């Protein structure tokens, strides 16, 4: 991969060189043309203009050739770099597996990659061309008329430093504000489109439309301001350009009309070249944050070269002071957990207690802020990520049903599963009746939209059973089932022989008397732990949850029995 980047560096250097040559030809063309026109006014013999004529033709031709070469080499280098960055980005994403990224975050990342291209083609190449071109103009003027050199240098300084700084500042301030307003408008538009039915039902369509209108006018106002600032910066650049050329003309007037005209026009072009720095600075400011995000992601450490093999059968899981943070918020706080091989642990607690996060921490799908996860006594990182993925999995809240047949959706977990194993998995997951009702049975094509929430969950549960991992993590597997079926399924999970080590997140407590241990979580912490009988017999959060469940079921509050 390094070789691929260094190959791109050479191409990029070639593009910079071609860009510089194109600009030097442009300067040469202007200087020669200006000299030729001014000299022609003196009506010399044609032969005196011969060299200038050749120079004008030559510079004009080569300017186009070099410009083309610059574009070709620049785009070639940028596209190669982009391809290499994308490959590395997907590798890095694979390594950090999930880590709280959703589809829109991934889309954002891919558009970040496009900024790498913008930075190269719209900032780096124009900036290098501007500096090399402007510098060459200065050298030419200073050599022909040393006195005019400082005058042009002053003009170049204003055009090449102050103007880009002003442009960058405006891009930074207004660009960020415009992005916020654009998001606001997009969100308001989406609300109007996707929530049209609900808005109509509640008579809130006009209000939502007005909110979107207000967001649109706020954006338009800001964009007008941005356009005004950008126009002002461009106008100032133009004034600096003309003023510099006039000042050079004045300072060189004693060198004769021909030389003075040539120097003035050369200065005009030199400042014009340097003014490209304004656009380059704007682009750099816009693209830099995205490029930094990409660079940070690419720094995700490569997996260790060698990895331990995972022992066969159910595996022991240990969490040692595991903490997870999302931004400034701690959602899992120093959780300790030991689950021996083949043991079955249930996790309960109110919504937002951190139960799903705990499962994600065990599987390594979210990075720990502090603490560690051990699998069979060794840190997760000591095993190959693919081995961990296969050994520690199950049913996550955001598990996906693929647009394929029921059979294909299940075989994804174990392509070599027999029909008997497939049938056993759907029976255990209570999906058999749903399957029988499907028009083509196992061969029925399904999508996330064609199944009900409960059916989707049961199909995914069947897939988790079929996978039969060494550590089975189940997040609310009984969601969408009636309470009797849900309790029967939970009881099966906790009592049937075989299977891997189980960590089960559930909100139904009725069948938990069969669990080896129950963890009660609240606010990211384990607030109570123990077997059902012990927890149910003392006042505390578990007893409260149990009382609530029994009250809802209309049963007497005698949970310890």
Ligand X SMILES: Nc1ncnc2c1ncn2[C@@H]1O[C@H](COP(=O)(O)OP(=O)(O)OP(=O)(O)O)[C@@H](O)[C@H]1O
* Number of residues this chain uses to bind ligand X (CB under 6 A): 11
CA 461 to CA 494: how far, in whole Å?
A: 15
Calpha distance 193→195 (Å, rounded): 6
Stretch that binds ligand X, among 27-35, 75-83, 348-356, 401-409 (CB under 6 A): 348-356
**Using CB under 6 A, which of the segments 86-94, 129-137, 344-352, 462-470 binds ligand X?**
344-352
Q: How far is the CB of 329 from ligand X (least distance, A)?
A: 7
Using CB under 6 A as the binding rule, whether residue 519 contacts ligand X is answered as no
What is the per-residue binding string for ligand X in 357-376, x denoting contact by CB under 6 A?
Answer: x-------------------
Q: Contact, 155 vs 267, CB < 8 A?
A: yes
Q: Does 351 bind ligand X (CB under 6 A)?
A: yes
Residues 80-109 close enough to bind ligand X by CB under 6 A: 100
Q: Is 279 near ligand X (CB under 6 A)?
A: no
Candidate ranges 21-29, 352-360, 385-393, 449-457; the one touching ligand X (CB under 6 A): 352-360
Told to check if 356 binds ligand X by CB under 6 A, we report yes
Report 160-179 residues binding ligand X (CB under 6 A): none
Alpha carbons 472 and 464: distance in angstroms, whole number: 8
The answer to the question of residue 396 lying near ligand X (CB under 6 A) is: no
The whole-angstrom separation of Cα 397 and Cα 270 is 61
362: number of Cβ within 10 Å: 25
Judge whether 363 and 388 are in contact, CB under 8 Å. Answer: yes
- Tell me if 354 contacts ligand X by CB under 6 A: yes
Q: How far is the CB of 355 from ligand X (least distance, A)?
A: 4
For residues 15 and 464, which CB has a smaller minimum distance to ligand X in the complex?
464
Which residue, 369 or 423, is less far from ligand X as judged by CB? 369
Degrees to nearest 5, angle at CA 287 with 233 and 226: 30
CB of 301 to ligand X, least distance (A): 22
Interface with ligand X (CB under 6 A), residue from 108, 352, 441, 453: 352
Of the candidate residues 220, 326, 443, 555, the single one contacting ligand X (CB under 6 A): 326
> What is the CA angle 494-498-501, rounded to 5?
65
Task: Output Rg (C-alpha) for the chain, integer angstroms.
Answer: 35
CA angle 461, 466, 468 (to 5 degrees): 100
State which residue, 273 or 345, has the beta carbon closest to ligand X: 345
**Helical H segments across 145-204, by residue range:** 149-157, 163-194, 196-201
Q: Partners of 518 in the beta sheet?
A: 346, 530
Q: What is the DSSP letter of 101?
A: -
- Contact call for residue 456 and ligand X (CB under 6 A): no
Binding site for ligand X (CB under 6 A): 100, 326, 331, 349, 351-357
């Amino acid at each position: 991969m390094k070789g691929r980047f260094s190959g791109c560096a050479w191409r990029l250097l070639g593009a910079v060189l071609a860009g510089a040559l194109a600009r030097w030809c442009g300067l040469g063309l202007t200087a020669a043309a200006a000299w030729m026109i001014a000299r022609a006014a003196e009506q010399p013999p044609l032969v005196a203009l011969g060299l200038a004529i050749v120079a004008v033709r030559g510079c004009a031709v080569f300017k186009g050739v070099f410009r083309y070469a610059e574009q070709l080499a620049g785009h070639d280098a940028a596209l190669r770099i982009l391809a290499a960055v994308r490959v590395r980005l997907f590798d890095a994403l694979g390594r950090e597996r999930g880590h709280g990224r959703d589809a829109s975050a991934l889309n954002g990342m891919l558009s970040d990659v496009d900024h790498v291209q913008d930075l190269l083609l719209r900032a780096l190449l124009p900036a290098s061309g501007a500096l090399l071109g402007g510098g060459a103009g200065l050298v030419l003027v200073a050599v022909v008329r040393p006195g005019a050199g400082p005058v042009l240098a002053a003009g170049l300084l204003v055009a090449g430093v102050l103007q880009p700084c002003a442009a960058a500042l405006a891009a930074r301030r207004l660009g960020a504000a415009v992005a916020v307003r654009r998001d606001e408008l997009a969100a308001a538009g989406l609300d109007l489109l996707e929530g049209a039915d609900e808005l109509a039902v509640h008579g809130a369509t006009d209000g939502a439309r007005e909110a979107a209108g207000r967001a649109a006018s706020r954006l338009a106002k800001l964009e007008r301001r941005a356009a005004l600032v950008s126009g002002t910066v461009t106008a100032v650049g133009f004034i600096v350009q003309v003023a510099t050329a006039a000042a050079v003309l004045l300072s060189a007037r004693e060198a004769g009309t021909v030389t003075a005209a040539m120097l003035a026009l050369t200065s005009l072009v030199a400042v014009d070249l340097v003014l490209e720095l304004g656009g380059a600075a704007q682009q750099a400011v816009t693209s830099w944050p995205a490029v930094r995000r990409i660079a940070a992601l690419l720094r995700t450490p490569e997996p260790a070269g060698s990895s331990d093999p995972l022992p066969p059968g159910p595996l022991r899981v240990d969490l040692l002071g595991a903490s997870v943070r999302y931004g400034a918020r701690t959602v899992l706080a120093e959780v300790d957990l030991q689950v021996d091989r083949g043991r079955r642990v249930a996790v309960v607690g109110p919504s937002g207690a951190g139960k799903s996060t705990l499962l994600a921490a065990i599987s390594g799908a979210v990075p720990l802020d502090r603490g560690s996860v051990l699998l069979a006594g060794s840190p997760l990182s000591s095993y190959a990520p693919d081995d961990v993925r296969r050994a520690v999995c199950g049913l996550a809240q955001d598990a996906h049903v693929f647009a394929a047949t029921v059979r294909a959706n299940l075989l994804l977990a174990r392509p070599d599963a027999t029909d008997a194993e497939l049938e056993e998995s759907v029976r255990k997951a209570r999906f058999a009746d749903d399957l029988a009702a499907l028009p083509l049975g196992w061969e029925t094509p399904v999508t996330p939209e064609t199944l009900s929430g409960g059916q989707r969950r049961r199909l995914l549960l069947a897939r988790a059973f079929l996978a039969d991992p060494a550590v089975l993590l189940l997040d609310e597997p009984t969601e969408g089932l009636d309470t009797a079926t849900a309790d029967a399924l939970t009881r099966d999970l906790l009592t049937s022989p075989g299977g891997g080590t189980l960590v089960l997140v559930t909100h139904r407590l009725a069948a938990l008397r069969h669990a080896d241990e129950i963890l009660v979580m609240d606010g990211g912490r384990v607030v109570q732990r123990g077997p059902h009988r012990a927890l149910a017999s003392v006042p505390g959060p578990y007893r409260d949850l149990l009382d609530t469940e029994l009250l809802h079921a209309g049963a007497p509050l005698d949970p310890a029995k």
